[in-house]
C-alpha cells in the first residue's frame, strides 16, 4: 500500500511540474484593444498578451490598429510578453 501511495504521489508531482513548464513563441498581429492599465493587449485574432513590468515595451506606441511583433513565454496558460515591437 505504501508503494502505491508513493507511486501516485510521484505521478502527481510529475504532472504538476509539467503543468508549470513555460514555452516560448512569437506572434505578429494588429492590436484590437489595449487594457487601460497597460497590462495587456488583445490582437485581432483574439490572442491576449500579458505585459509584465519587466517587458521591453513602448506602451505609448500601443494603440488599436498598431501592427506588432511580440516574443512571449507561455506560463500557466497566459502569454507573457518578453519583448514587443510596433512594426507599423
pLDDT tens by residue, 5-50:
544 444 444 555 554 455 789 999 999 999 988 899 999 999 999 9
* pTM confidence score: 0.72
The pLDDT of residue 8: 46
Which residues neighbour 46 within 8 Å (Cβ) at sequence distance 6 or greater? none
Q: Which CATH superfamily is domain 23-86 in?
A: Copper binding periplasmic protein CusF (2.40.50.320)
- Calpha distance 34→65 (Å, rounded): 10
Nine cell digits for residue 53: 513590468
Please give the backbone phi and psi of residue 7, each rounded to the nearest 5 degrees, phi first.
-65, -45
Amino acid at each position: 500500500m505504501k508503494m502505491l501511495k508513493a507511486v501516485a504521489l510521484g505521478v502527481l508531482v510529475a504532472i504538476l511540474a509539467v503543468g508549470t513548464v513555460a514555452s516560448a513563441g512569437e506572434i505578429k498581429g494588429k492590436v484590437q484593444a489595449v487594457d487601460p492599465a497597460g497590462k495587456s493587449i488583445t490582437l485581432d485574432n483574439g490572442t491576449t498578451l500579458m505585459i509584465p513590468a519587466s517587458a521591453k515595451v513602448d506602451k505609448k506606441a500601443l494603440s488599436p490598429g498598431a501592427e506588432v511583433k511580440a516574443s512571449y513565454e507561455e506560463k500557466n496558460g497566459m502569454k507573457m510578453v518578453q519583448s514587443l515591437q510596433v512594426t507599423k
